[in-house]
């Protein structure tokens, strides 16, 4: 569902949610045909692959480069290890003076938003309180900023209710406007776009393991390397990259009748690999990462859960950077555990 900005602060959230499709012409609406300097500024996604394979996707005034993201059918989004969530809404450049005029004037002429609101808007953007004639004298020297909303409408999506405002090129957004796009906001948005590889582990024995036989568990180093997403707003020259680096694997055998290696069930990354592949001659060794089942799964299976923890950091324009909450991504796979069959002679 496309994002909607309220035409007035008096219109309730409930009314907006019910009128989404009838309000498409209102200012503040994030649409795929909102353009600014040739860049799509809308909430809908459009992907364009360059000759180098880089894919840039524009969502809500922000361009995402996902070319270094995890791929594959089993790739998925991270779950933050804390209560952290990405911004539910944000402000970014959307209109040149001419574009804002073309957006607002038809709305005023239609009269669908009411005389009082129309008059207030004319006073704000035409009559010089504070903008005169849509700031046309500043054409090419800045942009009108407006709000964008996460298309999933999470809690707080309607908190960005500031009127459209002007920012001179090169100036920071007003300090009193929360969620005006900055490198940190971009980093948060990039975090939400990270996709990491699936966590199906390799096991030995592979087809079925035996009761009391140590089962080796590992993840292929080639599949588990850092992934990243870059978010940017090209028209104002700010950018941020969020990078996820695998740290550890947690094994949950799916039954209490099992022992993990190490005892904590957490296998740390070592030399770019989590766990160690089994090799001939290691049958009597304790695996650095693995599990030993104490009871047969009978005619069924045990649901082994493998969850990788990823460390997230970010870098951005002007030397900005820092850490974001760790993220986790896991998957379940069925394990057959059989009794060891004794042969009597």
Write out pLDDT tens, residues 130-139.
Answer: 999 999 999 9
| Secondary structure (3-state) at 48 | strand
CB 30 within 8 A of CB 3: yes
Write out pLDDT tens, residues 163-221.
Answer: 999 999 999 888 889 899 999 999 999 999 999 988 889 999 988 999 999 999 998 77
- Look at residue 248 in the predicted model and tell me its pLDDT: 93
Instruction: At 241, give phi and psi (nearest 5°).
Output: -120, 125
Q: Using 50, 70 and 90 to split pLDDT, how confident is the model at 45? A: very low
Percent pLDDT > 90 in the chain is: 65
Q: What is the pTM of this model?
A: 0.81
Tell me which DSSP letter residue 2 carries.
-
| Secondary structure (3-state) at 10 | coil
Scanning the chain, the segments in alpha helix (DSSP H) are 13-18, 97-110, 115-125, 183-193
Instruction: Give yes or no for residue 342 having a pLDDT over 70.
Output: no
């Amino acid at each position: 569902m496309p994002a909607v900005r309220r035409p007035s602060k008096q219109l309730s959230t409930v009314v907006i949610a019910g009128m989404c499709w009838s309000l498409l012409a209102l200012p503040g609406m994030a649409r795929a045909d909102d353009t600014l300097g040739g860049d799509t500024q809308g909430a809908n996604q459009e992907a364009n692959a360059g000759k180098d394979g880089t894919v840039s996707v524009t969502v809500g005034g922000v361009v995402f480069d996902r070319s270094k993201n995890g791929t594959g059918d089993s790739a998925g989004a991270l779950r933050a290890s804390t209560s952290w969530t990405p911004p539910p809404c944000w402000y970014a450049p959307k209109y040149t003076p001419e574009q804002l005029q073309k957006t607002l004037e038809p709305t005023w002429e239609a009269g669908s938003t009411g005389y009082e609101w129309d008059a207030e808007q004319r006073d704000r953007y035409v009559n010089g309180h504070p903008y005169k004639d849509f700031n046309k004298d500043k054409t090419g020297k800045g942009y009108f900023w407006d709000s964008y909303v996460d298309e999933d409408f999470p809690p707080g999506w309607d908190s960005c209710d500031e009127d459209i405002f002007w920012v001179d090129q090169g100036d920071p957004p007003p300090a009193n406007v929360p969620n005006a796009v900055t490198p940190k906001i971009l980093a948060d948005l990039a975090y939400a776009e990270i996709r990491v590889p699936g966590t199906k582990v390799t096991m030995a024995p592979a087809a079925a393991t035996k009761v009391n036989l140590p089962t080796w568990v590992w993840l292929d180093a080639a599949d588990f390397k850092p992934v990243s997403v870059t978010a940017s707003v090209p028209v104002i020259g700010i950018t941020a990259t969020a990078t996820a680096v695998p740290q550890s694997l947690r094994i949950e055998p799916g039954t209490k009748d099992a022992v993990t290696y190490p005892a904590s069930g957490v296998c740390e990354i070592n030399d770019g690999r989590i766990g160690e592949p089994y090799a001939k001659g290691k049958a009597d060794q304790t695996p650095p990462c693995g599990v030993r089942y104490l009871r047969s799964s009978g005619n069924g299976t045990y649901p082994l859960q493998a969850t990788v923890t990823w460390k997230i950091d970010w870098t951005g324009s002007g030397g900005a950077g820092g850490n974001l909450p760790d993220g986790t991504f896991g998957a379940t796979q069925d394990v057959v555990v059989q009794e060891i069959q004794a042969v009597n002679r």
